[in-house]
């Protein structure tokens, strides 16, 4: 901004601070959904030995470690439990030797777990600190040089998308072995925190482009920067600034942030679209990465980008410096 300011002789405030203007991600209690509890007496639980592997799962859940499961671990447990329960229910339907009481018991548990499943997956994603870290205010903007972190995050995104698609209707076809590396994906999300850095970048880019556009228009509204047929030193300086700094530095960075950021935005929209989000999470999405909310950070960035392009076109056109196709 300072080079444009000096070139067009128009003041631009170059002090940028974005952290306090990024909407806060909702607190955990505003993100978590309530689920129904199942209370089983000891004898009733023992009856579940008919369901292969079920008692082991219940024992894991009731162990000391099981009682303090992280959201991602509890989600994985619930997916495994539901899958095993569904297999047991199908097996029981083909077995006429078992008592009706067991059928009622299995069916009752199945109904509760089916109602819970989407909320358990929601909690496993949106309740996890690793996921929340991608919406914090704490990270720096994406660097103009080096890796953005998006490449490493992409596989974790794919994992969450896969999990979000699980429902009572298709859980039986889900390959449970895909849960074995789940914690690696969560670790990647926590380490890279791409989403947090993207939000910071979008806001800083928006303010940079808004201020630059306003300055260019304000300068041209007062008097022309170039006059027909005049080859001035200011025109040459403007051309140099556009080529060297806008074309070779700013534009490539903008393109990279947009390309990767658009994929992250698309992921968040598809992810939240798989659920009925809590009101707090829905509001935060509308404030940040929603493509349909006019006031979102994403759409503010898009508006600023388009206005910035038009401002440069205006001054370059006046100086007969528009790039030739």
Tens digits of pLDDT across the chain (325 residues): 788 888 888 888 888 876 678 999 999 999 999 999 887 665 577 777 888 888 888 888 777 666 778 999 999 999 999 999 999 999 999 998 888 888 888 999 999 999 999 999 999 999 999 999 999 999 999 998 877 889 889 999 999 999 999 999 999 899 999 999 999 999 999 999 999 999 999 999 999 999 999 999 999 999 999 988 777 889 999 999 999 999 999 999 999 999 999 999 999 999 999 999 999 999 999 999 999 999 999 999 999 999 999 999 999 999 998 876 5
- Where does 139-193 have alpha helices with state H? 150-164, 182-192
Residue length, the chain?
Answer: 325
Q: Which region, left, alpha or beta, applies to residue 74 given φ > 0 means left and ψ of -120 to 50 means alpha?
A: alpha
Distance (Å, whole) CA 126 – CA 271: 10
Distance (Å, whole) CA 325 – CA 318: 17
Distances (CA, A) of 45 to 42, 54, 71, 87, 297: 5, 9, 24, 17, 51
Distance (Å, whole) CA 297 – CA 177: 38
Distance (Å, whole) CA 102 – CA 98: 7
Q: Give Dmax (Cα) for the chain.
A: 98
Distance (Å, whole) CA 186 – CA 132: 11
pTM of the model: 0.90
- By C-alpha distance, which of 192, 194, 213 is closest to 289? 194
Which residues are CB-contacts of 90 (< 8 A; sequence separation ≥ 6)? 172
Which residues are CB-contacts of 319 (< 8 A; sequence separation ≥ 6)? 225, 226, 235, 238, 239
Distances (CA, A) of 7 to 114, 225, 234: 65, 10, 7
């Amino acid at each position: 901004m300072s080079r444009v300011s000096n070139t067009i002789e128009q003041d631009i405030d170059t002090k940028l601070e974005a952290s306090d203007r990024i909407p806060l991600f909702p607190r955990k209690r505003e993100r978590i959904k309530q689920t129904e509890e199942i209370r089983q007496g000891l004898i009733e639980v023992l009856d579940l030995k008919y369901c292969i592997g079920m008692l082991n799962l219940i024992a894991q859940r009731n162990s000391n470690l099981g009682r303090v499961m992280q959201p991602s671990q509890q989600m994985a447990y619930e997916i495994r439990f539901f899958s095993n329960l569904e297999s047991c229910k199908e097996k029981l339907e083909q077995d006429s030797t078992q008592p009706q009481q067991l059928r009622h018991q299995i069916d009752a548990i199945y109904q509760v777990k089916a109602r819970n499943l989407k909320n358990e997956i929601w909690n496993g994603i949106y309740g996890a600190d690793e996921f929340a870290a991608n919406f914090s205010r704490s990270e720096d903007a994406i660097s103009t040089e080096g890796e953005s972190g998006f490449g490493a995050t992409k596989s974790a995104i794919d994992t969450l998308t896969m999990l979000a698609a699980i429902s009572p209707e298709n859980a039986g076809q889900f390959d449970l072995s895909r849960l074995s590396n789940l914690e690696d994906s969560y670790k990647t999300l926590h380490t890279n925190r791409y989403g947090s850095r993207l939000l910071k970048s979008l806001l800083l880019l928006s303010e940079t482009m808004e201020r630059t556009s306003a300055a260019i228009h304000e300068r041209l509204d007062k008097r022309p920067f170039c006059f027909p047929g005049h080859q001035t030193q200011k025109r040459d300086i403007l051309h140099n600034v556009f080529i060297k700094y806008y074309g070779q530095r700013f534009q490539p960075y903008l393109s990279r942030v947009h390309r990767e950021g658009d994929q992250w935005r698309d992921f968040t929209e598809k992810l939240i679209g798989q659920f009925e989000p809590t009101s707090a999470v829905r509001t935060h999405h509308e404030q940040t990465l929603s493509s349909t909310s006019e006031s979102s950070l994403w759409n503010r960035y898009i508006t600023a980008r388009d206005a910035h392009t038009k401002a440069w076109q205006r001054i370059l056109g006046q100086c007969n410096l528009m790039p030739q196709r």
